[in-house]
Amino acid sequence: MGFISMGSGAPPVGLDIGTDHVRAAVLKSSSGSPTLASYGRVDVPMGAVVDGDIVDPSAVASAIRELWRQPGIKGRDVVTGISNQKVVVRLIDLPFMERDELQGAIQYQAQDYIPIPIEDAILDFHIIGDYMTPSDEHMMEVLLVAAQRDTVEATVAAVEGAGLRLASIDVTSFALVRSTLGSGLNVFSEDEEGPGEAVAVIHIGSGLTNIAVVEKGVPRFTRVSSLSGNQFTQAISNVLNLTFDDAERLKIRAGLPDINAHVLAAPEDPEAGMIQTAQDALEREVNKFIAEVRRSLDYYLTQTTQARTIRRIYLTGSSAQLANLDTYLEKGLQAEVVLSDPLRFIQVGSGARALVEEDRMGAAPAIGLALGGVI
Ligand SMILES: Nc1ncnc2c1ncn2[C@@H]1O[C@H](COP(=O)(O)OP(=O)(O)OP(=O)(O)O)[C@@H](O)[C@H]1O
Ligand SMILES: [Mg+2]
């Protein structure tokens, strides 16, 4: 940035569009250390975002407009994340070529790797590195990203409908990895992994769960599942015949039973029976969830990677607050489970502190998106 700045010159605001909430993170980067200047969260009307797709762009645009009325949320340029089961992230090996040549080659090669027709897809790629094979071939490793054109167009419509400009689109999983493990695709502390080990980041929201596996500092695998908070609530609602809102309150109150304790809810509690039923339903859902995560992690480990184990899982997302979920996952997945802290790599300004601390588990995507714009 020069002395005279025509625009604000500010990095784009991280905008996370979710099933239940839109969130914004405004980061300032002074002397190389990013500081969260403001943070906000606003509800999204039910049904406007389904399975990571914006089905009602104008409802989402109104929620974003409301978000931009929150204190300190300003700036016209935003970076947002996409996350749904149709976003494809693949690590591929290609003969070495220069970036310009790769740009063209990717268009031809991509169809071999992605299940959606190339004309319906928007492609992006990141060069991870290059290497020599034992037979002296010069190869390169490329992370290929493909998103459905419709997904991207609906995102543009929602953002522009709110009077903002979409400066760039990121994959939500990459943003999660960035806020959990450090900035940039290739950068994070080496002591996180030992030889033969990888780490995973699991973010459980309301409509979606994002799983990312990171090996040698690079997110090499991502998967999006629809097993998440809403499913937990729905299971309680079904089994007790409660409205979704009542089931939601009971879910948060009950949590999972403490597997190390022998006493459940106090028997004199008038809701003890309901709590027990809710916990049983949650336990069944969480077991399904564990099986699904295990399938994803096993799939990754059986691919060409060198890692044989996932040593540590960083857990984030509002649904990660479900009481005792971490112990269930630790037992079910045989890995160390730690809660991810989205504030680990940033400073927090006084204007943002109270809001972000209240939403600490939900803040990782918005912060990670904003981090991608300041580094
Ligand atoms: N204390 C809690 N215990 C258990 N679940 C909780 C708790 N607090 C919030 N949740 C759950 O978190 C979910 C909302 O998460 P969040 O706001 O992060 O979703 P989102 O980002 O809008 O959706 P998406 O899944 O599309 O990313 C709801 O299912 C809610 O029940
Ligand atoms: Mg979310």
CATH number, position 287: 3.30.420.40
Q: Residue 178 and residue 170: Cα distance in Å, rounded?
A: 11
Residues 233 and 332 in one domain: yes
Answer yes or no: is the C-beta of 173 below 6 A from any ligand 1 atom.
no
> What average pLDDT does this structure show over 223-245?
97
Summarize pLDDT for 12-59 with one digit per residue, the tens.
999 999 999 999 999 998 777 899 999 999 999 999 999 999 999 999
Place of tokens 């509800």: 43
| CA of 208, closest atom in ligand 1 | 25
3-state secondary structure of 4: coil
| CA of 232, closest atom in ligand 1 | 29
Lowest mean pLDDT among 81-85, 201-205, 306-310: 306-310
Pick from 175, 181, 232, 210: nearest CA to 338: 181
Question: Is residue 241 predicted with pLDDT exceeding 80?
Answer: yes
How many Å is the maximal CA-CA distance in the chain?
A: 74
- Which H or E run contains 31? none
- Which H or E run contains 6? none
In a domain, 181, yes or no: no
Identify the band that residue 265 occupies on the pLDDT scale cut at 50, 70 and 90: low
207: Cα within 13 Å, side-chain hemisphere: 18
- The alpha carbon of 34 and the centre of ligand 1 are apart by a number of angstroms equal to 26
Answer yes or no: is the C-beta of 206 below 6 A from any ligand 1 atom.
yes
- pLDDT at position 191: 55
CA nearest ligand 1 atom 14, residue? 206
Residues facing residue 135 across a β-bridge: none
Q: Nearest 5 degrees, angle CA 308-CA 217-CA 111?
A: 85
The residue type of 98 is E
Burial class (CB in 10 A: 0-12, 13-18, 19+), 290: middle
Answer yes or no: is the C-beta of 207 below 6 A from any ligand 1 atom.
yes
The pTM for the full model equals 0.93
Structure tokens given for 238? 């079904």
Q: Which of 319, 336, 353 is the last residue of a domain?
A: 336
In a domain, 254, yes or no: yes
- The alpha carbon of 95 and the centre of ligand 1 are apart by a number of angstroms equal to 43
Please report the DSSP string for 101-114 in residue order. Answer: HHHHHHHHHGGGT-
Identify the band that residue 116 occupies on the pLDDT scale cut at 50, 70 and 90: confident
Lowest mean pLDDT among 220-229, 247-256, 269-278: 269-278
Q: Which of 147, 165, 188 is the last residue of a domain?
A: 147
Q: Residue 204 and residue 337: Cα distance in Å, rounded?
A: 14
CATH number at residue 143: 3.30.1490.300
Q: Where are the alpha helices (DSSP H) in the chain?
A: 57-67, 99-109, 149-161, 172-181, 229-240, 244-254, 272-302, 325-333, 350-358, 364-374
> What average pLDDT does this structure show over 95-112?
90
- Could you give the number of structural domains in the chain? 2
Do the Cβ atoms of 278 and 238 come closer than 8 Å? no
In a domain, 141, yes or no: yes
Query: Averaging pLDDT over each range in 127-131, 217-221, 281-285, which range is the top one?
Result: 281-285
- The alpha carbon of 100 and the centre of ligand 2 are apart by a number of angstroms equal to 35
Question: Is residue 8 predicted with pLDDT exceeding 90?
Answer: no
In a domain, 121, yes or no: yes
Site to substitute for ligand 1 among 43, 172, 206, 236, most atoms within 8 A of C-beta: 206
Residues 139 and 237 in one domain: no
Give the residue numbers spanning the domain of 262: 229-336
Answer yes or no: is the C-beta of 225 below 6 A from any ligand 1 atom.
no
- The alpha carbon of 323 and the centre of ligand 1 are apart by a number of angstroms equal to 13
SS3 content of the chain, % helix, strand, coil (to 5): 40, 30, 30
Answer yes or no: is the C-beta of 19 below 6 A from any ligand 1 atom.
yes
In a domain, 267, yes or no: yes
Lowest mean pLDDT among 112-126, 264-278, 313-327: 264-278
- pLDDT at position 217: 83
Please report the DSSP string for 255-277 in residue order. Answer: -S--TT-S--S-TTSTTHHHHHH
| The total number of residues written for the chain in this structure | 375
Do the Cβ atoms of 298 and 213 come closer than 8 Å? no
In a domain, 361, yes or no: no
Burial class (CB in 10 A: 0-12, 13-18, 19+), 75: buried
Answer yes or no: is the C-beta of 210 below 6 A from any ligand 1 atom.
no
Answer yes or no: is the C-beta of 208 below 6 A from any ligand 1 atom.
yes
Strands in 88-95's sheet, in edge-to-edge order, are: 88-95, 138-148, 121-132
Summarize pLDDT for 129-168 with one digit per residue, the tens.
899 999 999 999 999 999 999 999 999 999 999 999 999 9
- pLDDT at position 264: 58
Answer yes or no: is the C-beta of 342 below 6 A from any ligand 1 atom.
no
Structure tokens given for 75? 């700036």
Pick from 73, 79, 1, 74: nearest CA to 372: 79
Q: Which of 99, 125, 147 is the last residue of a domain?
A: 147
Question: Is residue 2 predicted with pLDDT exceeding 70?
Answer: no
In a domain, 218, yes or no: no
In a domain, 182, yes or no: no
Lowest mean pLDDT among 81-85, 90-94, 258-262, 300-304: 258-262
CA nearest ligand 1 atom 9, residue? 318
